[in-house]
Amino acid sequence: MRALGRWLVAALLLLIGRRRARPARPERPRYEAGGRDELLVLTLLAAVPAACVAFVVVYFTDASTQWLGLALGGAFALAAAAAGIAGKRLVSQKRHVEPRPELEHPEEQEEVLRELHEPGEGLTRRRLLLTAAGGAVAALLGALAIPALSLGPGAGGRLTRSPWRRGRRLVDEQGRPIAAATIEVGNFLTAFPEGADKEDFASPLVVVRIRPDELRLPAHRSNWAPDGILAFSKICTHAGCAVALFRYPLYRPRSPKPALVCPCHYSTFDVARGGHRIFGPADRALPQLPLAIDGEGNLVAAGDFSGRVGPSWWGVRKS
């Protein structure tokens, strides 16, 4: 045991001695600004607007999302590389401290101040680099601003525009008018505005029918559901999913009230009360479309929606 103890003490002393004797690490080399480095930074900065232009071209030609990501990601990668090289190679890493001589004559002081405030003649390297960096930043901001115009309900009015007007007939996917008599109590179907684009954000409707004595609509909507037929926007007010489920009671003592359900996050809307939200993450009612029955017995719109269609973005919250 004593021999083992001596070996452990000797090993410990040896480690301590080696650590104390370890030489100091050499300083990392410091780079100085050079013509090649400046040219490389300028080339990278010039490539940033080119990548941004490619992004805009791909965006407006409806090319694949992969090309969009490659163009925009390449622009940011080029800008990051230029910033990194400029910070490492072009910014001086040395500190120079030297005493400044006192200026004894007022004329010398005025001359120094004039040289400091007056811009130099011609295009210096520093000014060229700053101009290229400013152009790269402007190109990046412009590339980001273009797709930003497509976000939210206020983008060109596309998501706020409604094709529904008084007298416009409801049709099915084949463009056939929907007769009120063909919709039975508990039925659920999808309808579209006649003569309008079915892909429009506010076009699709869900049409359901409940018993007239089940209606609990507000007073100003008392004539919006002829014979218990109601129509609502098919776009959920939570995340924009399609409302595709209709819950209608089969055994009244146990079954819940009639409601539309979004299958994405289970937001539930009470149809008898005009699409009032009763469950789920949606924070506002499902927009209701007033209905009427024309002289031929077909369903027609009696006006526009009760509110903005779609998720509760900033523009929708104003409704």
Pairing verdict, β 229-233 and 205-209: antiparallel
The answer to whether residue 189 sits within a structural domain is yes
Query: Residue 317: its pLDDT value, please?
Result: 44
199-231: pLDDT as tens digits = 888 999 999 999 999 999 999 999 999 999 999
* Percent with pLDDT over 90 in the chain: 36
Range of the domain at 257: 170-317
149-166: pLDDT as tens digits = 665 444 445 556 789 999
The answer to whether residue 57 sits within a structural domain is yes
Query: Do residue 227 and residue 282 come from a single domain?
Result: yes
Query: Do residue 179 and residue 308 come from a single domain?
Result: yes
Domain count, the chain: 2
Query: Do residue 216 and residue 266 come from a single domain?
Result: yes
Query: Do residue 264 and residue 310 come from a single domain?
Result: yes
Q: Which among 284, 290, 291, 292 is positioned nearest to 308, based on CA atoms?
A: 284
Query: Do residue 296 and residue 184 come from a single domain?
Result: yes
Query: Do residue 139 and residue 262 come from a single domain?
Result: no
Query: Residue 101: its pLDDT value, please?
Result: 65
303-313: pLDDT as tens digits = 999 988 888 65
The answer to whether residue 114 sits within a structural domain is no
239-292: pLDDT as tens digits = 889 999 998 887 666 667 899 999 999 999 999 999 999 999 998 899 999 999
The answer to whether residue 144 sits within a structural domain is yes
Query: Do residue 136 and residue 174 come from a single domain?
Result: no
Query: Do residue 202 and residue 256 come from a single domain?
Result: yes
The answer to whether residue 16 sits within a structural domain is no
3-state SS of 63-75 is CCHHHHHHHHHHH
256-268: pLDDT as tens digits = 789 999 999 999 9
The answer to whether residue 208 sits within a structural domain is yes
Q: Which among 132, 121, 165, 105 is positioned nearest to 39, based on CA atoms?
A: 132
Query: Do residue 140 and residue 217 come from a single domain?
Result: no
The answer to whether residue 27 sits within a structural domain is no
Query: Residue 146: its pLDDT value, please?
Result: 74
62-86: pLDDT as tens digits = 667 788 888 888 888 888 888 887 7
80-130: pLDDT as tens digits = 888 887 777 776 656 666 676 665 666 666 766 666 555 554 445 677 777
Q: Which segments of 63-124 does DSSP mark as H helices, in order?
A: 65-85, 106-117
Mean pLDDT throughout 180-196? 93
Whether the per-residue pLDDT at 24 is higher than 70: the answer is no
Query: Do residue 180 and residue 294 come from a single domain?
Result: yes
pLDDT band at residue 134 using 50, 70 and 90 as cut-offs: confident
Query: Do residue 178 and residue 310 come from a single domain?
Result: yes
